[in-house]
Structure 1
């Protein structure tokens, strides 16, 4: 079975979401369905159909999260000893060579990726270029706007 990498923080976030879905959202939607059902004819009951659709979304999300967690290889970056190399879970500070703009990203699993939050997928071109490199190394990334050159300023395991 192929195990998908997930940071400890990402796994904890999914567990929290799963708990909320099961203990809060699911009971609310069950109550909403019961209330809508009490209004009578279900064929033309928009509240009932909307609640049933919402229930489907919740149940699908619960199933998806349970599958993801079941197939995940949880890695705690704080316990890594990669001798300064960029590996899964590492947080990397980069300086763009052409304009000295600095950015900071953590290399995470596909499920956790959120570039706006500084979380870059391990399968992204940027992460693939960074893996195995060390502080002071330069990397070139093929981006939609052309090649971007970065210098690695620091590598941390938080």
Structure 2
């Protein structure tokens, strides 16, 4: 597996999730399995089967997180000096020229840390790909599922 770019914040969030799974959720599901076993016949014990299924999900997520973290290439946006040019880790302020000059802020992050509700878009998303390499002051046309949108880049920051 090749290196996967991630921000410092993204790596920290994944490490916190991994720690939560290992120290809280894994022991809780082990206790639930032990408790369900104590009830007797495992063939018709719904609690036991549900706990075993939950254990499978937790163990799978732990392996996924460990693999992701082992292949992460941590990039600290605050240490980048790209100026007004947009690269991975940039926080971009856009004005939607097609929607009453509505302002939108995005940060370009790794695939595993993307969360559109937080304004974190994946480096592989169509929006990020259209923005990378552009500069503050540029106007960009972005093809989105709803059609083509025009945005003006009004700010580029590296936080």
Query: Is TM more than 0.5 here?
Result: yes
Aligned residue in 2 for 1:9: 9
Aligned residue in 1 for 2:126: 125
Aligned residue in 2 for 1:26: 26
Q: How does 1:41-56 map to 2 (within 5 A)?
A: 41-56=41-56
Q: How does 1:56-95 map to 2 (within 5 A)?
A: 56-95=56-95
Q: Which runs of 5+ in 1 are unaligned?
A: none
Aligned residue in 2 for 1:107: 108
> Whole-Å Cα distance in 2 between the matches of residues 84 and 73 of structure 1?
23
Helix, strand or coil for the counterpart of 1:87? coil
Q: Which runs of 5+ in 2 are unaligned?
A: none
- Please state how far the C-alpha of 1:114 moved relative to its aligned partner: 1.3
- Please state how far the C-alpha of 1:83 moved relative to its aligned partner: 1.8
> Whole-Å Cα distance in 1 between the matches of residues 145 and 28 of structure 2?
44
Deviations 1:51-77 (A, max 9, x none): 000000000000000011011111111
Equivalenced residues, count: 158
Q: After the TM superposition, which segments of 4 or more aligned residues of structure 1 sit over 4 Å from their partners? A: none
> Whole-Å Cα distance in 1 between the matches of residues 74 and 86 of structure 2?
17
Deviations 1:79-137 (A, max 9, x none): 11112211101100000123211100000111111112101111111101110111101
> Whole-Å Cα distance in 1 between the matches of residues 31 and 96 of structure 2?
53
CA RMSD after TM alignment: 0.8
- Report the more deviating stretch, 50-59 or 138-147: 138-147
> Whole-Å Cα distance in 2 between the matches of residues 117 and 103 of structure 1?
11
Aligned residue in 1 for 2:151: 150
